[in-house]
Amino acid sequence: MTSDLAVLTEDLTKFYGDHRGVEGLNLEVGTGEVMGFLGPNGAGKTTTIRLLLDFLRPSRGRTAVLGLDPRRDKAALHRQIGYLPGELAFPGRDTAEDLLRFFGDARGGVAWSKVTDLAGRLEVDLSRPVRTMSKGNKQKVGLIQAFMHEPALLILDEPTSGLDPLMQQEFLAMVRDARSAGQTVFMSSHVLAEVQHVADRVAIVRDGRLVAVERVESLGRRAVRAVEIHFHDPVDPADFTDLPGVSDVVVSGPVLTCTVDGRLDPLIKAAARYEVVDLLSAEPDLEETFLSFYYHSEGAGDAHRTRA
Ligand SMILES: Nc1ncnc2c1ncn2[C@@H]1O[C@H](COP(=O)(O)OP(=O)(O)OP(=O)(O)O)[C@@H](O)[C@H]1O
């Protein structure tokens, strides 16, 4: 396999009895890349993550993580990974500090200043028993244990779950810092907005299959936007109805509204034949683009077509 890949899966498949968890997943995450792994509940995100960590064994296919075989090199691999599970369970009466010291020792020791730094950023009191903490605070302890040893690869299952908006921002800043330090981040989410500001690429899964892998910028370029143009005089709708990418054209006297999918250029050129007073273009809504793409997409074959 190629050494500059942090994660490689080939035909990765897991069936639970007859029920598909994931099937035929071909995915590559480059070293130093932030990859958002997106899909709705039940799409197969957690199954994939558990396969990468050898918590589950594939029914078919294979995976290499940091150049290692998760099955053969499990212990060595886990030392180099920071993993945040989707469902956190902290049994016992330990305080967050006890737990983090335990995890730190298990990984051969961590700089405690790194732990207190993360606890400060996430505003969590480490002296409290984890059992008594709110869901959000437990999630913060989970994040600290994933980040504290500065692993080469962070695998985070729904990392923002339970975090309030301010803490979500802090978490995203931690991801950016990790990226700057050359760490790779593979994070699942069912909300594009959560990952679009930090991810280099997003992989989209649906019903256990990879639907697409896209660079976040190109997802933006594909975005549909609402445009409103105010002209000096009334315009002829016929000048705008057949333009590439332009739809929903409504003309009311000198005001035109429409939807543009992709480049604005054809619309601008058509509008320039008239005297333009004002042009308003709403920010592309990536969430909408994502959803329309995702629900209209044909299936797994698209993953190859759209791979960056
Ligand atoms: N242990 C299991 N036994 C049987 N089916 C399972 C098991 N775990 C997951 N599945 C099924 O596999 C599919 C993928 O589930 P998975 O948990 O990987 O999805 P997900 O994208 O992580 O969803 P969520 O966001 O809800 O965690 C779902 O249809 C789920 O019902």
What is the ipTM, given to two decimal places?
A: 0.95
If you take atom 6 of ligand 1, which residue's CA is the nearest one? 16
Q: Please identify, by atom number, the ligand 1 atom nearest to the C-alpha of residue 208.
A: 14
**Ligand 1: residues within 6 Å at CB?**
16, 19, 21, 39, 41-47, 86, 190
CATH number for domain 224-283, candidates 3.50.50.60, 3.40.50.720, 3.30.360.10, 3.30.70.2470: 3.30.70.2470
Dihedral Cα 55, 59, 64, 69, nearest 10 deg: 60
pLDDT score recorded for residue 307: 32
Tell me the CA–centroid distance for residue 85 and ligand 1, in Å: 14
Tell me the CA–centroid distance for residue 162 and ligand 1, in Å: 20
| Residue whose pair of structure tokens reads 């008594």 in the numeric block | 132
CATH classification of 5-217+296-306 is 3.10.20.90, yes or no? no
Tell me the CA–centroid distance for residue 21 and ligand 1, in Å: 6
Q: Which residues contact 254 (CB under 8 A, 6 or more apart)?
A: 230, 231, 232, 233, 234, 235, 277
Instruction: Give the residue range(s) of CATH 3.40.50.300 domains in the chain.
Output: 5-217+296-306
**DSSP assignment of 195-216:** HTTT-SEEEEEETTEEEEEEEH
pLDDT score recorded for residue 261: 83
pLDDT, tens digit, 9 for 90 and up, residues 133-169 = 999 999 999 999 999 999 999 999 999 988 998 999 9
Q: Which residues of the chain have pLDDT under 50?
A: 1-2, 298-308
pLDDT score recorded for residue 306: 35
Instruction: Give the residue range(s) of CATH 3.30.70.2470 domains in the chain.
Output: 224-283
Tell me the CA–centroid distance for residue 44 and ligand 1, in Å: 6
